[in-house]
Amino acid sequence: MNLESKVSVIEAVLFASGEPISNEKLAAAAGVEKKLVSKLIGLLIERYESCKSALTVLSLDDSYQLTTRCEYAENIKAVIKSRKNTALTPAAMEVLTIIAYNQPVTKSFVEHVRGVESSSIVNSLVEKDLLEEAGRLDVPGRPIAYKTTNTFLRCFDMSIIEELPPLPSHSEQVSFNDVNEEDEENEEVLV
């Protein structure tokens, strides 16, 4: 099988799946070594770009997914009725942030950091496919640990979790007192 045929095999598998496919599975499907898959994906992307295709390939951690380009989203929405995507609440974003930066973690870890019960929020994020189980900890009770998914990466426009922006250092963080003092100064100006 020549190189162009192997690119076509990769394209066919990605198209038929609709979901992210691991580097390992794509290598097996095309009959190549895993390290050659990224080159084949690059050739597929070049093929799409050369003919100004509406398709592209996303790299998601150690997987790839065939998708449409962002600029066609409105056209697609106009034709396809999809379930209404609801925005995440501030609490859900907080839970997602805690897990993304500390993964894998348990619900009790999230609750300890937040100081409030967070089980229903974690369950909701699992249902939305933003979080998934990452196994059980080897401690009494064997609690479930959670981690982010490829859907999380796709929603936040990242290829790998390491693309998360760094957390601010302690000196860069704003305290409640800083905000309160600023509000008082603004009130004095208004009076």
163 and 97 within one domain:
yes
**92-113: per-residue pLDDT in tens?**
999 999 999 999 999 999 999 9
Share of residues in the chain with pLDDT > 70 (%) = 86
pLDDT band at residue 42 using 50, 70 and 90 as cut-offs = very high
Can you tell me the mean pLDDT for 19-45?
A: 92
81 domain residue, yes or no: no
Give 47's contacts (C-beta < 8 A, 6+ positions apart): 7, 53
What is the Cα–Cα distance from 109 to 183, expressed in whole angstroms?
34
Predicted local confidence at residue 7, as pLDDT: 92
186 domain residue, yes or no: no
What's the number of domains the chain is made of? 2
31 domain residue, yes or no: yes
Predicted local confidence at residue 114, as pLDDT: 92
Predicted local confidence at residue 8, as pLDDT: 93
**What's the half-sphere exposure (Cβ side, CA atoms, 13 Å) at 184?**
6
Can you tell me the mean pLDDT for 9-28?
A: 92
138 and 95 within one domain:
yes
Q: For the chain, how many residues are written?
A: 191
For residues 90 and 97, is the Cβ–Cβ distance under 8 A?
A: no
Domain holding 65, by residue range, is 3-74
Predicted local confidence at residue 182, as pLDDT: 58
The CATH number assigned to the domain holding 50 equals 1.10.10.10
DSSP alpha helices (H): ranges in the chain? 3-17, 23-30, 34-50, 73-79, 90-102, 107-114, 119-127, 150-155, 176-190
Output the average pLDDT for the chain: 86
pLDDT band at residue 84 using 50, 70 and 90 as cut-offs = low
